[in-house]
Amino acid sequence: MADAGIEVSFVAQNLAAHAAVQDAAQMARAARLIEVPELGEDIDLCAALSGRLGPNRPDGVICRRGSFAPDVARLTSGLGVPGETRATALLLGDKRAVRQRLRGAGLDPLRWRGADTFEGVRAAARALGYPVVITPASGSVSLAARIARDESALADAWNEAVRAAAVVVGGLPVMLVEECLTGLRVSAELLVQDGEPTLLGMAERDAAPVDAATEIGSCFPAEFPGVAAAADFAKRVVKALGITNSAVHLDISMTPRGPSLIEASGCVVGHVGLQQLSLSLGRSVTMELVALATGRRISPPGKPVATAVLRHVGSDCDGIVVRVRPPAAVHPHVALQGLFVGEGSRVEAMRRRSDHFGYVLASGADRGDAASVATRAAAQLLGRLQIVRVEQAVEWADDRQTQVASDATNGDAGHAAGLTERTHVLLMDRVGPDSWTTLDGRPLLPPERFRTTVFSSSAEAGTRGARPDLLVRMDIFDNPAVAMAAGAIHSASPVHRVGAASERALLPAAALRRRFGAPGVAAEELHRFIDKAEMKARARRAGIRCADGLVVQTPNALLEMLERHATVVVKPRALSGSQGVAVLRSAEEADEWLASSYEPEAFLAEAFVEGDMCHIDALVYDGDVLWDTSRYVRDTMAYLRGEPLSSVSVGDASLREAAGALLAQVIDAWEVRRAVLHLEAFVTPTGLTFCEVAARPGGAGVVDAFVATRGVNLMHAKLLIECGEDPLRNRVEPIAAHSAWTVHYTTGGVLECFDDSAVSGGAYKRRVAAQPGDEVPRSRFSGTGLSLHVFAGPTREEVLAWVRKAESQVTFKTRPSM
């Protein structure tokens, strides 16, 4: 219209909503943008626009939303320009009245009933027979239509329809319960001038999934058996409804009984349907709307010059957009395409018309050509989005009473829960349900006080035990994606606490706490437990014995250290589970490592310490320390050699005493008040030599072994501390004085067989990550492997015997992946 020199006043109910999805430069071409929030509420639009339409009196009005038609009818009447009567506009907004009018004209074979309560809807559904469609009777609210296949699905369909209708019409409308029509879905697009309908053409709707009240796309013009009967039916419907001056969009089902009306709208097809008509007909349908609005004669429709196919773009799952990739080259026959979501947007699986978030409009010589281009382009458009799957046990943001309650007197950013609210906890997990459920499958955090959202990269997430309120399946180590998803969740329901038990997730969790103003350990505090260089400096200041070492700032620094010590260990400053660790015994090995792995200041080099390694695992809580210590059977780099890693609790009293003393030194030096610690040290003839300490539970079998001997799940304890809860509240009686565990690792491939029958009966805990035939990944760090066996018993000798049996008699075989 602007290109044709027409002065356009754009009137909207919510300009911000349009600005969010429309091109700003295009919107700026309107002579004026006017917001009328009451639009659609049966207002005097003439009065609302008085003095706001500029110096020139409008020559016509185009209505683009059916729910605004009664207000627009008042406006056209007041301006004295062509338009639909208000009585007809009100009729089109009342589906029950439309059906009654068509029934009187012999044009409505559809069986339906009205109801305003769930009991009434159920009675109507039983009378009509399932499946049924539930849709509001008033307003242009086809977005609220829901399908119920049987009575078990009726309550959900009713609730969804009521919620959707409340958003659109602002309250609970009377519902229509209709028989669910089977047959081809088509639509008729007409322009009615002085009571005479002109058919622009018929469009065929793509078949939607069963039970989905959505649209996948459409093809214009449509070619199907009965197209002439459908066109005649459409014109008869227009006449029966008394439409005189309006664009008309009719949704029709081609049933075995003949055409049946689904819905009528007193405006042209929405979305990009208008452009679809123009592309196919080879002329501007918008300019025909101008002619209709201003009283000029509309043109005959003419023959289509191309087939235009519209494909809607949506997700196959509920999720959050965490990344939008750059656009790729567009096929020349793609006329239009668009995405209405960005990073952080929440999307839902395509079940309803409102679930689309993009589109592609393509043309071709016939339907096959156009559909092929549109389908490929839609897949390409969807491929730009990285969507993480969200599974919810309750409705999104159902805790409307949950708010961040800060203490205004001291500026504390912590959460103070009121009587009616739940604390929202975000948990970053790589283990699975064991992180957030107790042994009997109950939720670790009481659901009456906590709303739990879990980001999990575990394949077991959601397969057993209590489900969290919201489960997001994603790579929890993809930090940008985690930040984007967390932001989307926080905007819907503020996050009050953030928890993580895996080393690599600790700093991202701290960053989220700072972002959301949540209490808990800050990144600055965590660095002392993550950066091995800072760790060793702190230990030396406290007089704790460490190996000679330095940060590798230059290649020469490493080579000089190798000259001082026969063997040097290099390790990344901020990785766990023996990842990236190398033992260098010659200048040749050092040169090879420098060529393949060296990064300035990213690695710590230390003199190799001869001796076994022990680990000390502890819960520190306000002065109380609960701990145990175990000794590795071999070094923690066993997984790199394809060997199992085992650990057995310490029975030697002097070693236990030394471990307790070292733990006390670390607690003091690191200023630990509330934490779970995993401390490792070398056992030498002259005492313990500090290796490193982490502020999280140990991996492999540490958590299960600690439960056996101390009665506390360290993973749960860490989460409870981060949620402000007592970590000892779920403590149980220990079952044994000693424990041990063995992890078997794999080089990857397809698991052909696995046999642990020699030890499975004696294991306190047993976990096998795959079944024969499954693809198994290569083990990349010591904390997780193909299988875990944990043993508990009265003596160290007994559990050690089980470990030796597990190491020698658990067998498995893999073959290379295809």
Angle at 719 between CA 715 and CA 725, to 5 degrees: 125
Residue in 688, 718, 202, 657 with CA at minimum distance from that of residue 498: 718
Residue 123: how many CB atoms within 10 A of its CB? 14
Q: Which residue has the tokens 């729910």?
A: 67
Query: Span 337-343, mean pLDDT?
Result: 91
- The answer on 352 and 290 residing in a single domain is no
Residue 636 is predicted with a pLDDT of 81
The reported pLDDT for the residue numbered 782 is 80
Q: What CA–CA distance (Å, rounded) separates 466 from 463?
A: 9
pLDDT of residue 408: 27
Q: Are residues 235 and 251 in the same domain?
A: yes
Residue 395 predicted with pLDDT over 90: no
Q: Is residue 705 within 8 Å of 632, Cβ to Cβ?
A: no
Q: How large is the average pLDDT for residues 556-577?
A: 88
pTM of the model: 0.75
Q: What is the number of structural domains in the chain?
A: 7
CB-based contact 289:268 (threshold 8 Å):
yes
Strand arrangement of the beta sheet that strand 738-744 belongs to: 687-694, 674-684, 612-621, 624-632, 645-649, 738-744, 787-793, 765-768
Q: Assess whether 744 and 769 both reside in one domain.
A: yes
Does residue 170 register a pLDDT over 70?
no
Last residue of a domain, one of 120, 152, 179: 179
- Cross-strand bridge partners of residue 767: 788
pLDDT of residue 788: 97
pLDDT average, residue stretch 415-433: 76
SS3 278: helix
Report percent pLDDT > 70 for the chain. 94
* 799: in domain: yes
- DSSP per residue, 446-484: -TTTEEEEEEE--TTTTSSSPPPSEEEES-TT-HHHHHH
Asked if 65 and 131 sit in the same domain, the reply is no
Alpha helices in 36-108 (DSSP H): 45-48, 69-79, 86-92, 95-104
Model pLDDT, residue 139 = 63
Task: Look at residue 144 in the predicted model and tell me its pLDDT.
Answer: 66
The whole-number pLDDT of residue 816 equals: 93
For residue range 763-806, list pLDDT tens digits in order: 999 999 999 999 999 888 788 899 999 999 999 999 999 999 99
Give me the CATH number covering residue 168.
Answer: 3.30.1490.20
Three-class SS state of 137:
coil
Average pLDDT over residues 270-292: 93
Q: Could you tell me where the DSSP H helices lie in 597-728?
A: 653-669, 702-710, 714-722
**CATH number of the domain that residue 208 is part of:** 3.30.470.20
One domain, residues 375 and 475 = no
pLDDT number for residue 280: 96
Q: Does the pLDDT at position 423 exceed 70?
A: yes
Task: Enumerate residues 6+ apart whose C-beta is below 8 A from 115.
Answer: 121, 123, 124, 174, 175, 177
Q: Is residue 540 part of a domain?
A: no
Tokens of 362: 């393509």
651 lies in some domain: yes
Mean pLDDT of 671-685: 96
d(CA 348, CA 334): 26
3-state secondary structure of 31: coil
What's the confidence (pLDDT) of residue 165? Answer: 67
Across 212-216, 524-528, 707-711, least confident range: 212-216
Residue 71: burial class (beta carbons within 10 Å; 0-12, 13-18, 19+):
buried
User: What is the reported pLDDT for 157?
Assistant: 83
349: tokens are 């699986």
Mean of pLDDT values over 401-430: 54
In DSSP terms, 179 is beta-bridged to 132
Query: In this predicted structure, which of 34-43, 297-306, 406-415, 498-507 has the lowest mean pLDDT?
Result: 406-415
My answer on whether 120 and 214 are in the same domain is no
Q: Are residues 423 and 502 in the same domain?
A: yes
Has residue 97 been placed in a domain? no
pLDDT in tens, 515-549: 999 999 999 999 999 999 999 999 999 999 999 99
Residue finishing a domain among 179, 214, 237: 179
Helices (H) and strands (E) in the chain, counts: 22, 36
Nearest Cα neighbor of 235 from 269, 208, 201, 277 is 201
Domain holding 727, by residue range, is: 612-814
Does position 670 have pLDDT exceeding 60, yes or no? yes
Cβ atoms of residues 697 and 620 within 8 Å: no
Task: Determine the pLDDT at residue 405.
Answer: 28
Binning pLDDT at 50, 70 and 90, where does residue 726 land? very high
Residue 86 placed within a domain: no
Judging by DSSP bridges, how do beta strands 497-500 and 423-429 pair with one another? parallel
Tokens of 43: 């207002």
Residues 279 and 266 in one domain: yes
What is the token pair recorded at 442?
A: 């109950």
pLDDT surpasses 80 at 436:
yes
Is 90 part of a structural domain of the chain? no
Using one digit for the tens of pLDDT, what is the confidence trace for 261-277? 999 999 888 768 999 99
How many residues appear in the chain?
818
Are residue 617 and residue 639 in the same domain, yes or no? Answer: yes
Whether residues 365 and 322 fall in one domain:
yes
- The arithmetic mean of pLDDT across residues 54-71, rounded, is 94
Residue type, 183: G
Q: Rg for the chain (alpha carbons), in Å?
A: 34
Mean pLDDT for the chain overall: 90
> From edge to edge, which strands make up the β-sheet containing 319-324?
346-347, 319-324, 385-392, 470-473, 450-456, 423-429, 497-500
Tell me, what DSSP letter sits at residue 485? H
**Is pLDDT at 172 greater than 60 in this prediction?**
yes
Of 558, 581, 607, the position where a domain reaches its end is 607
Is residue 381 exposed (0-12), middle (13-18) or buried (19+ Cβ within 10 Å)?
A: buried
The pLDDT value recorded for residue 526 is 94
Strands, E assignment, 165-274: 175-179, 184-193, 196-205, 217-220, 246-255, 258-265
Read off the tokens for 368.
């096959």
In this structure, are 620 and 681 located in the same domain?
Answer: yes
- CB-based contact 274:281 (threshold 8 Å): no
What lies within 8 Å, CB to CB, of 529 at 6+ separation is 506, 535, 670, 693, 694, 695, 696
Predicted confidence (pLDDT) per residue in 218-250, tens digit: 999 999 999 999 999 999 999 999 999 999 999
- CATH label of the domain that carries residue 447: 3.40.50.20
Predicted pLDDT at 403: 31
Spatial distance between the Cα atoms of 414 and 50, rounded to a whole number of angstroms: 51
Residue 362 pLDDT: 97
Lowest-pLDDT range, 3-12, 53-62, 424-433, 636-645?
Answer: 636-645
Q: Is the pLDDT of residue 400 over 70?
A: no
Comparing CA positions, the residue from 216, 67, 186, 212 lying closest to residue 133 is 212
Closest Cα to residue 196, out of 232, 243, 241? 243
In a domain, 341, yes or no: yes
pLDDT at 612: 93
> What is the rounded average pLDDT of the residues 469-495?
94
Query: Is 179's pLDDT higher than 50?
Result: yes
How far, in Å, CA of 94 to CA of 264, rounded? 10
At 213, the pLDDT band (50, 70, 90 cuts) reads low
- Residue 313 sits at the vertex; the CA angle it makes with 311 and 318, to the nearest 5 degrees, is 150
Element containing residue 148 per DSSP (H, E): strand 146-148
Q: Say if residue 275 is in the same domain as residue 138.
A: no
Q: How far, in Å, are 218, 348, 397 from residue 376 at the CA level? A: 15, 22, 35
- Residues in contact with 376: Cβ distance below 8 Å, sequence separation at least 6, in sequence order: 331
Looking at residues 187-194, what average pLDDT do you find? 96
Whether 443 shows a pLDDT value over 50: the answer reads yes
Instruction: Pull the structure tokens for residue 39.
Output: 């639009």
pLDDT for residue 169: 53
Q: What is the mean pLDDT of residues 639-661?
A: 94
Rounded-to-integer distance, Cα 525 and Cα 510, Å? 10
- Is pLDDT at 481 greater than 60 in this prediction? yes
> What angle do helix axes 95-104 and 227-241 make, rounded to 10 degrees?
110
Say if 782 falls within a structural domain.
Answer: yes
Pairwise CA distance, residues 51 & 57, whole Å: 10
Distance CA 363, CA 331 (A): 10
Cis check for the bond before 221: say yes or no (omega within 30 of 0).
yes
